[in-house]
Amino acid sequence: MNALVLPVVLPLLTAFLLQPAGRLSAALARWAGPAVLLVCAGLLVQIALLTGGEPVTAAIGGFAPPVGIVFYADALALLMAIAVPVSALLLWPRAEAGEAGVRQSALMLLLVGSGTGMALSGDLFNLYVFYELLTVASFGLASATGTGRAYVATVRYVLVSGFGSLIALAGIALLYAQTGSLNLAQLADLAPERLANPLGLAAFACLLIGFGVKAELFPVNNWVPDLYACAGKPISALLAGVVSKLAVLVLLRLTVLVFDSPEAREMLMVLGLAGLVTGELAAWRARDLPRLLAYSSIGQLGLLFVALSLPGPAGLAAALAVALHHLLVKPALFMLAERWHGSLDKLAGAGRASPLAAGLFTLFALSLVGVPPLPGFWAKLLVLLELARGAGPFDLTALALVLAVTVVEAHYLFRLVGILYSPGEFRDRHSPRALAVAGLGGAVLVAAMLTLPAVSDALAGLASQAADTAAYRTLTLGGGL
């Protein structure tokens, strides 16, 4: 299955060729990026159709793992891999003339290539390298608006990310010192005897903090609000949407395969709860929409980490439901914030000016709060049920916090809905593209609601496949183990 490598290699290659190509023809530079993304998405869909969701592996360069590096594509990885080029296509930066436009296209391609690589990699160091590539691409994209504040926000982002990366690197070093391998499958084999100790936990903590930067994990997420307030909204949408989910996917693989211990789960839950509570409370006091969304994104990802800390396929299904829901809703909301970027109080009248946008915002708000029968409710219900299953004082505290924070969330979201629909002076309308992206998100949301049984079956299948560590190991390392 070496076709699996193409969606990673093609964008990277194009990214580097784009600059010289731009000298030859402006049209080529402009259309090459989207075209390549289309091809990548098509390839990945084809692979998904061919395999029918069964996991496949590809050893790069023909070196067999654990020596060689490996790609592992199960349904979840493919889904995330498809989400990367598709999101990038939908959120492709507005075409700028000349150098700047070419540079942005190249950075987007870099981001897509490395993001796809992150989704598919089965090797920790590869993951780290793709993660770094993606980070660098996102630096460039975040500062692309060219305003002073965007630069300052990006510098803060660079510092936190840089520090996160080196902590992750330290974690990788600890892991390697303990096991002598970085292949996830082999790590899964070695984990019970080599990593069930404080040092293993320390390695997990390092990796958690490191990859947590992109996933907006609690202590390393204070770059989020300013960056989302200053960067272009499509970039914020991309970062909050698919990029954060890629980081979550890495952490998911790590928790499922390597660090499947109660202590690691507790750590995830505590940090998740801290993010949930601080994020939602900060959003409650936010005074402009981009920062409100940024804080609420921190809160939602906090909920995701709480879900990720739940054991078993049921817990994993809950986490995936929350992740996919957020992946769908948050980018759409950021696209709506493109024109609604001012003070919340000044948005009065926006509902009259663009009824579709206000309606979509209300729909997303309802789903985020978790109003049945919207998908957000079922995702939250799964999390709550799993928390109640644990029934320890710790789980019950988490349960109470998740429920309490939902009230706060409902209050600030519907305070805003109320403002949108009250009479006022606001007249800005959305660009057709922003509306189209948000509308697509809304349509998918409603479709998922209408086909809930099918969606839930698919979700359960996805979760049980992702939770199947034995299959991962045998497939990656061959039948010999």
Partner 1 sequence: MDMTFAPDPLALLVIGALGLIVVGAAGLAFGRHLFRLVLALGLAEAGANLLLVIAGYRWDAVAPILTGSAPAAMVDPVPQALVLTAIVIGVGVQALAVALLVRVKLAYGTLDLAELKALVERDIRAAAGIGEPDSAQAPATLPGPAGLIGERP
Partner 2 sequence: MTPLDTLYLASAATLAAMLVLGDWRRAGVLATLMYGVQLALLFTMQRTGSTSFDLSALGFELSWRFDALSWFFAVVTLGTAFFASWYGAGEWLRAYTGRRRLFQSALAANVFAMLLLLGSGDLLTLFVGWEATSWAGFLLMALAGGLARDAALRYLVYAMAGAMALLGALVVLFQAGGSFSYEAARATLAAMAPGPLWALIILFGLGFGAKLALLPLHLWQAAAYSETPAPGSVFLGGVVGRMGLFALALVLVGLIGIPHLQALAVPFTFLTAQDVVAWVAALTVVLPTYTALKQNDARYLLAWHGIGQGGYMLLGLIVGSALGSAGGLLHVINYAATQATLLMVVFGVRHRVGHTDLNRLGGLVARMPLSFLALLLGIISLAGLPPMSGFVSKWMVYSSLIQDGRPFLFLAAIVGTLGTILSVYKLIHNLFLGQLRAEHEQLNEAPLSMLIPMLATATLAFVTGVAPGLVLGWVADAQAAIGLPVIDYTLGGIASPRASLDMLWVVGVMFAGFGVGALLFYGAGGKTHRVHQLDNYAGGHFLDAGMRYHYSDNFYAGLMHLIGGWYRGSFHWLEGAIGSGLSLVAQGAGGWYRAINPAFYLLAASVALIAWVAL
The binding site for partner 2 (CB under 8 A) comprises 156, 159-160, 163, 167, 170, 174, 198-199, 202, 205-206, 209, 219-222, 224-225, 277-279, 281-282, 284-286, 295, 366, 369, 371-373, 377-378, 381-382, 384-385, 387-389, 391, 399-400, 403-404, 406-408, 410-411, 414-415, 418, 421-423, 452-453, 456
**Residue 392 binds which entry of partner 2, partner 1, none, CB below 5-8 Å type-dependent:** none
Residues whose CB falls within 8 Å of the CB of residue 20, separated by 6 or more in sequence, listed in order: none
Closest CB 453 distance from partner 1, rounded Å: 39
Query: Between residue 148 and residue 167, which ones bind partner 1 under the rule CB under 8 A?
Result: 148-149, 151-155, 158-159, 161-163, 165-167
224/236 Cα distance (integer angstroms): 9
**Residue 232 binds which entry of partner 1, partner 2, none, CB below 5-8 Å type-dependent:** none
Site map 114..153 versus partner 1, x via CB under 8 A: -----------x--xx--x--xx--xx--x---xxx-xxx
If the CB atoms of residues 183 and 469 are measured against partner 1, the closer one turns out to be 183
If the CB atoms of residues 146 and 423 are measured against partner 2, the closer one turns out to be 423
Q: Is the distance from CB of 303 to CB of 276 less than 8 angstroms?
A: yes
Establish if 322 lies at the interface with partner 1 (CB under 8 A). no
Closest to 347 in 3D by CA, of 428, 228, 230, 449: 428
**Residue labelled with tokens 């010289």:** 20
Closest CB 230 distance from partner 1, rounded Å: 7
**Is there a cis peptide before residue 373, judged by omega within 30 degrees of 0?**
yes
Residue 460 DSSP SS3: helix
Closest to 316 in 3D by CA, of 462, 101, 179: 462
Q: Is the distance from CB of 334 to CB of 235 less than 8 angstroms?
A: no
Q: Is the distance from CB of 289 to CB of 337 less than 8 angstroms?
A: yes
Q: Which of 5, 56, 95, 169 binds partner 1 (CB under 8 A)?
A: 169
Which run of H or of E encompasses 56?
strand 56-59
If the CB atoms of residues 343 and 393 are measured against partner 1, the closer one turns out to be 343
Closest CB 406 distance from partner 2, rounded Å: 5
Closest CB 6 distance from partner 2, rounded Å: 36
Residue 183 DSSP SS3: strand
Establish if 451 lies at the interface with partner 1 (CB under 8 A). no
Q: Which of 403, 411, 443, 457 binds partner 1 (CB under 8 A)?
A: 411
Q: Which of 103, 194, 346, 352 binds partner 1 (CB under 8 A)?
A: 346
Query: Between residue 181 and residue 220, which ones bind partner 1 under the rule CB under 8 A?
Result: 182
212/330 Cα distance (integer angstroms): 18
**Residue labelled with tokens 């211990």:** 261
Q: Which of 27, 343, 453, 470 binds partner 1 (CB under 8 A)?
A: 343
Closest CB 407 distance from partner 2, rounded Å: 5
161/138 Cα distance (integer angstroms): 11
Closest to 100 in 3D by CA, of 158, 38, 18, 156: 18
Please, which contacts does 354-358 make with residues 24 or more away whose CB atoms are closer than 8 Å? Answer: 354/429, 354/430, 354/435, 356/435, 356/439, 357/429, 357/430, 357/435, 357/438, 358/417, 358/420, 358/421
If the CB atoms of residues 153 and 267 are measured against partner 1, the closer one turns out to be 153
186/447 Cα distance (integer angstroms): 40
**Residue 414 binds which entry of partner 1, partner 2, none, CB below 5-8 Å type-dependent:** partner 2
Total residues at interface with partner 1 (CB under 8 A)? 49
Q: Which amino acid is it at 391?
A: A
Closest to 360 in 3D by CA, of 432, 417, 406, 400: 417
**Residue 371 binds which entry of partner 1, partner 2, none, CB below 5-8 Å type-dependent:** partner 2
Closest to 252 in 3D by CA, of 230, 268, 276, 233: 268
Closest CB 220 distance from partner 1, rounded Å: 12
Q: Is the distance from CB of 276 to CB of 302 less than 8 angstroms?
A: yes
Indicate the DSSP class of residue 219: G
If the CB atoms of residues 84 and 384 are measured against partner 2, the closer one turns out to be 384
Closest CB 410 distance from partner 1, rounded Å: 12
Tokens of 234: 């499509």
- Choices 101-109, 168-176, 211-219, 302-310; region in contact with partner 1 by CB under 8 A: 168-176
If the CB atoms of residues 152 and 460 are measured against partner 1, the closer one turns out to be 152
**Residue 154 binds which entry of partner 1, partner 2, none, CB below 5-8 Å type-dependent:** partner 1
369/380 Cα distance (integer angstroms): 9
Using CB under 8 A, list all residues that contact partner 1.
Answer: 125, 128-129, 132, 135-136, 139-140, 143, 147-149, 151-155, 158-159, 161-163, 165-167, 169-170, 172-174, 176-177, 180, 182, 226, 229-230, 284-285, 287-288, 291, 341-343, 346, 411-412, 415
